Copies of this chain bind each other. A is one copy, B any other.
Amino acid sequence: MLVTFAGGDAGAWSVERIIAVRGPGLPPATRLSVDEDGGATLPAAAWTLRGVTSNERYVERAEREALAARQPPLGRPEATAAALIPVTKSAAWWELAQDERRAIFEERSHHIRSSLPYLPRIARRLHHGRDLGEPFDFLTWFEFAPEHEAAFDELLGILRQTEEWRYVEREVDIRLRVTSGPDAGR
């Protein structure tokens, strides 16, 4: 599924802040719209980011089962806060072989193991942009109830200190709230 995130002055999500964590940020926007597979008419936008949901690249069977047992769906009525975190990794990351990337991702950086305790508070969907020629390799979308935003920040803090994150050369952190009721445009 091709998902397009359009930042501008229209969309169901209100932009609270756009933080350039590493590298260049993104132009200002007050609203964000999310389109799945061209189903919505996208408004004129200040910026547009695209990614596809795809097969897993690192998650192993036992990890998937642990995740599946805890991970909530998108669109929960109480999850009126969201974050869109576009990330690009370095050429050095992509030049690593599969076993080297996997070892950094989980055996050494514990990406999955560190995330599990934060489920089911945080829902997540990963979109891949690199093979589309997009500026960001990954667009990760998170949804949570506003009272869990501190826990979400804690998780980001853990992940950003890992060996895996040394390969991140660009990261933007976009925080959002539903503006027009939990079902509007989601």
Contact = CB atoms under 8 A, between A and B. Distances in A.
A61 B99 CA distance: 7
Given A131-B132, A132-B131, A133-B2, A99 B54 contact: no
A97 B59 contact: yes
The number of times this chain is found in the oligomer is: 2
A98 B60 contact: yes
Contacts of A58: 98
B98 A59 contact: yes
A36 B64 CA distance: 37
A64 B97 contact: yes
A116 to B, nearest CB: 16
Contact of A57 (B2, B95, B98): B98
Interface string A2-45: 10000000000000000000000000000000000000000000
Interface in A59-74: 59-61, 63-64
Nearest to A128: B131
A100 B57 CA distance: 11
A161 interface: no
Interface of A: 2, 52, 54-61, 63-64, 94-95, 97-100, 102, 128, 130-133
